[in-house]
Amino acid sequence: MEELCTGLCSVLTESGAELGLAYFLSLLVGVLLVSGVPLLTVILLIWIERKVAARIQDRIGPNRVGPVGLLQTIADMIKLLSKEDITPTAADRVLYNAAPLVSFASVVLLWAVIPFTPFHYGVDLEIGALYFVAIASFGTLAIMAAGWASNNKYALLGAFRVVALLVSYEVPLVFALLAPVMLAGSMSLVDIVNAQSGMWFVVLSPLAFVIFYISSQAETGRAPFDLIEAESELVAGFNIEYSGMKFGMFFAAEFLHVFTNGIIMAILFFGGWMGPLYYESPLIAFAWLGAKGGLIYFTTLWLRNTVPRLRIDQIMAFNWKFLVPLSIANLILISLALKVMQELGIAPRDMLSASFGDLLPATAILLVINGAMILYLLGILRKRGREARRESHEARAGYPQTASVAGR
């Protein structure tokens, strides 16, 4: 126990606090500091999301409460606080109340392993990447619980679909996640960032990034994968029976999850805090991470507001018949190419000590392989798209009534 006590803890024991209490307090301060970041950003995120969505849809967005509508979220929170909270009599009360808590907690828990700067992070777990996958799937559990406990047919249908979607897209997500783990030779997120000092992993394995990006868009239930709130089909989906602050928690969890995924992608593929002058001050390192994560977050919002929703059968087919085989092929190709290069002595065995120059030949070869794969895939997609269009044209010419419902 004594060995665990350093930093703030030892300061507390020095000033006369009991060892156990001091240790607990120092941990608690750490937890509050780390969780403070997501809890504060989520207020801003909701405003950003609404403002970006408005701009894309040629509106102005919230602009009444506070300067440029910045306080709109606060006003909404106050409104939600004063809303009546309806629990349907038919609901399973315990699960019904637990679901929003689990949903939000699963996103906040992700921040425990996120390294903000080289020295500032909640905890640097040896299995950080696996922890990310494990905790992220708690969100799926919360949605299932919410849908089931609501005892509402729309909610249950929505939950089924969403869980099928989330569970399916977790497969390519994890396969893509294996690429940075493999390149860095570690699951610790700090090690993964450090291993990118020579070259960002997005350059070494762009396809893995694209797969990760698409599946994390699906994991957060954003368009084109927004079955999670298919308003026109399922009224609202799994959260139809929720109202007031409990609904607000699902809402906040989703918004925060999108941003968290942006940060995770910045860490895994874009070198996290790496950037000019990051070693000068932790603030600069933190700003780099925020800028990269924010940029990726912005592109996800852009995507969300641009593309239409896919049907469930299209979504599932895209995952199992395209994304999963692709992610496996990508993993095999990358690992094979890198291993051959390592055996030939072209690629370094340790990314951490490899400089930009050491990695150049390997990068060029991997880029060529990835580029060839992407071109091949685009060819396949083009061919399939043409076939599908021709079929739908023929179907429409023959049976004008059934064309729009075909495949539902």
Q: Which of residues 178-217 bind another protein (CB under 8 A)?
A: 178, 181-182, 185-188, 190-191
Q: Does 349 bind another protein (CB under 8 A)?
A: yes
Give, as ranges, the residues between 275 and 314 that touch another protein (CB under 8 A): 312-313
Both ends of the chain: CA-CA distance in Å?
61
Q: Does 364 bind another protein (CB under 8 A)?
A: no
Which residue, 168 or 301, is less far from another protein as judged by CB?
A: 168
- ∠ CA 186-187-190, nearest 5°, is 85
Q: Does 231 bind another protein (CB under 8 A)?
A: no
Q: Does 366 bind another protein (CB under 8 A)?
A: no
Q: How far apart are CA 8 and CA 27, in angstroms?
A: 9
CB of 280 to another protein, least distance (A): 20
Q: Does 31 bind another protein (CB under 8 A)?
A: yes
Q: Does 328 bind another protein (CB under 8 A)?
A: yes
CB of 375 to another protein, least distance (A): 23
Span of 21-29, 214-222, 356-364, 381-389 interacting with another protein by CB under 8 A:
21-29
Which residue, 131 or 297, is less far from another protein as judged by CB?
A: 131
CB of 129 to another protein, least distance (A): 7
CB of 387 to another protein, least distance (A): 16
Q: Does 350 bind another protein (CB under 8 A)?
A: yes
Give, as ranges, the residues between 43 and 72 that touch another protein (CB under 8 A): none
Which residue, 128 or 206, is less far from another protein as judged by CB?
A: 128
Q: Does 34 bind another protein (CB under 8 A)?
A: yes
How large is the C-alpha radius of gyration of the chain? 23
Q: Does 249 bind another protein (CB under 8 A)?
A: yes
Which residue, 189 or 301, is less far from another protein as judged by CB?
A: 189
Q: How many residues of this chain interact with another protein, rule: CB under 8 A?
A: 109
Q: Does 82 bind another protein (CB under 8 A)?
A: yes
Q: Which two tokens stand for residue 307?
A: 């593309």
Q: Does 146 bind another protein (CB under 8 A)?
A: no
